[in-house]
Amino acid sequence: MGKFPANESETVEFKTSFNVETIDIMQKRIAILGSTGSIGTQALEVISEHSESFAVETLTANNNAELLIEQALRFQPDTVVIANENLYSQVSDSLKDYPIKVYAGNKALEQIVSQSNIDIVLNALVGYSGLIPTIRAIEAGKIIALANKETLVVAGELVMNLAVQHSVPIIPVDSEHSAIFQCLSGEFAPIDRIYLTASGGPFLNFPVEKLATVTKEDALKHPRWEMGAKITIDSATMMNKGFEVIEAHWLFATPDDDIKVLVHPQSIIHSMVQFKDGAIKAQLGEPSMKVPIQYALTYPDRVECNVKRVNFADYQALTFAEPDFGKFPCLDIAYKALRAGGTVPCTMNAANEVAVQAFLNEKIRYTDIYALISETIDAINKIDKPSLNDYIETDRISRLKADEILKVLTGRL
Ligand code: MN
């Protein structure tokens, strides 16, 4: 088992096609970055349901020491990392009777991915913090199961070039991109168009003039998907879908004009690919992150997954609509940032992280999220062909600028 890819005919032909070394192992050894979050906990569920196929080598968390300890006791990894250094002694004291190495700090998190006992790095970190660990894992030749879309939003060109250079596959965990990846399995023909489906989030049918007064609780009520707070707010603004357009652009080497967002409130079709002969392939299922997480870990195999099956008779109709770019300007600005290129998407991401945090802290209104992002992009110089240091510096100064603009915005309230 576990040939990767299983045979020639399963090699997916992207411009960024990977040359994967065959791994033929009984158990795939996994590092989960962000094991206490929504993706991380579901990944551990998948792994525990197929414990013969996987060994958990590394678990990392930012602040949730209690759950990290509980997971470590249950899965007995080789190593755990708690990013918040203040929580080191709590974690190490609790695990002192076990042969589990405990490290703390962001540097440890970045370095841990290159350990020789790891085959697959599942990056389930939230936000910009996922970038450097992804890069270090690629440099160490690990298979990347990528749930951290900001890696590709911020530095897609650099990351994909690095992956090709190191012959490292990046397997998407994001449900839409997993769907596209599944549609491309067995295909050699170039992509004619990608249909990236979007549920539309909680404000799809909400009057646009009332959006300024929605609360954090309103925005956190996603109709179809259970996710962490940051991505749920990104879904409410549709910035998440904008990020996913950029992610698809880099993963599948597809121009922005050929990536169409399609509002599909039932979220049964997880995305579609149209080929040059007009044929369209779609991947369907009830919304569940377990399927794309599991597929990324078992690829190219499929194994049992205990999720609800679609009963088509439950759905009188699957509906589709064009997105409303006027009502969801964050989707529009993401396309513009992608077209502008260079460090513009990096600045957009940094400003978005500042804005979402401010909204969650109830410092700004929902509609200020877009304003803050837009003003920050206008204020920061773009760098073409950025190096990693250019991205790091752009992220830093963009956050400072966004904080400044935030002060003005909150002064106004
Ligand atoms: Mn998604």
Structural domains in the chain, sorted by start: 8-173 (3.40.50.720), 179-288+317-340 (no CATH), 344-413 (1.10.1740.10)
**Ligand 1: centre distance to CA 73 (Å):** 31
177 Cα–ligand 1 center, Å: 7
In this predicted structure, what is the pLDDT of residue 42? 97
Contact in structure between 288 and 227 (CB atoms under 8 Å): no
Helix (H, G, I), strand (E, B) or coil at 240: helix
What is the distance in A from the centroid of ligand 1 to the CA of 271?
A: 10
- 196 C-alpha vs ligand 1 centroid, how far in Å? 9
Per-residue confidence (pLDDT) for residue 71, from 0 to 100 = 98
Instruction: Give the Å distance between the CA of 178 and the centre of ligand 1.
Output: 9
192 C-alpha to ligand 1 centroid (Å): 21
Phi, then psi, of 300 in degrees rounded to 5: -90, 10
Per-residue pLDDT of the chain (413 residues; tens, 9 = 90+): 233 333 334 434 444 444 444 455 679 999 999 999 999 999 999 999 999 999 999 999 999 999 999 999 999 999 999 999 999 999 999 999 999 999 999 999 999 999 999 999 999 999 999 999 999 999 999 999 999 999 999 999 999 999 999 999 999 999 999 999 999 999 988 999 999 999 999 999 999 999 999 999 999 998 887 788 999 999 999 999 999 999 999 999 999 999 999 999 999 999 999 999 999 999 999 999 999 999 999 999 999 999 999 999 999 999 999 999 999 999 999 999 999 999 999 999 999 999 999 999 999 999 999 999 999 999 999 999 999 999 999 999 999 999 999 999 888 65
Identity at 316, one-letter amino acid code: Q
- Helical packing angle, 229-237 and 344-360, nearest 10°: 110
Q: How many Å lie between the centroid of ligand 1 and the Cα of residue 172?
A: 10
CA 175 – ligand 1 centroid, Å: 5
The per-residue pLDDT for range 31-76, each reduced to its tens digit, is 999 999 999 999 999 999 999 999 999 999 999 999 999 999 999 9
CA of 147 to the centre of ligand 1 (A): 9
CA of 378 to the centre of ligand 1 (A): 27
Q: What is the rounded CA–CA span in Å between residue 22 and residue 254?
A: 27
Q: How far is the CA of 228 from the centre of ligand 1 (A)?
A: 12
| Phi/psi at 235 (5° precision) | -70, -35
Distance (Å) from CA 174 to ligand 1 centroid: 5
Burial class (CB in 10 A: 0-12, 13-18, 19+), 406: buried
- Residue 252 CA, ligand 1 centroid: distance in Å: 15
The pTM score is 0.93
- Give residue 231 CA to ligand 1 midpoint distance, Å: 9
